[in-house]
Amino acid sequence: MAGDSVQTYANHRRLLVPWHVVALPILGANTVVQIIRFIQAPGLESAWNAVVAAALVTALICARWMTLRMQDRIIRLEETLRLELLLPGRNHDIERLSRDHLVGIRFASDAEVPHLVDRILAGELVSRDDVKRAVQHWRADHLRA
């Protein structure tokens, strides 16, 4: 089962076949085809087809972007609550962490969180990728959007 597999920095990225391999490439290619058809044979119908194709790609990208933004908000809430339990009395430090820091630190084991937070606050770990790379004991997240 996928939920039981070991997750690491090297394999944590998710390939969503219906999104990455089917929908986005097909709709992207359709947009290119419709624009080429409009250039080759300008007219109301070909212009409309190009506009609709571009709108479909835009809608698909926006839907994905909104899903990821919502996921980040939920992660921010979950990790803030987790850090309040793991780092009692350090609410001021927790508030200084960015959304990207919290998204990255969600993969860290409870034991390594205090050290990672200290490194973030010291400026050693700037991006979510920096934080993820610094995690030694990975806590898998198989429920990502």
The answer, yes or no, to whether residue 10 has pLDDT greater than 90, is: no
Asked whether residue 57 is domain-assigned, the answer is yes
Asked whether residue 112 is domain-assigned, the answer is yes
pLDDT band at 1 (very low <50, low <70, confident <90, very high): very low
Asked whether residue 109 is domain-assigned, the answer is yes
Asked whether residue 11 is domain-assigned, the answer is no
Which tens digit of pLDDT belongs to each residue from 52-63?
A: 999 999 999 999
**CA 58 to chain centroid:** 18
pLDDT band at 11 (very low <50, low <70, confident <90, very high): low
Asked whether residue 105 is domain-assigned, the answer is yes
Asked whether residue 108 is domain-assigned, the answer is yes
For residue 104, list its beta bridge partners. Answer: none
Asked whether residue 44 is domain-assigned, the answer is yes
pLDDT for res 107: 93
Mean pLDDT of 23-27: 95
Asked whether residue 52 is domain-assigned, the answer is yes
Residue with tokens 């793991």: 86
Domain ranges, residue 45: 17-134
Class of residue 47 by CB neighbours under 10 A (exposed 0-12, middle 13-18, buried 19+) = middle
Q: What percent of the chain has pLDDT over 70?
A: 96
Which tens digit of pLDDT belongs to each residue from 32-46?
A: 999 999 999 999 999
| Count of structural domains within the chain | 1
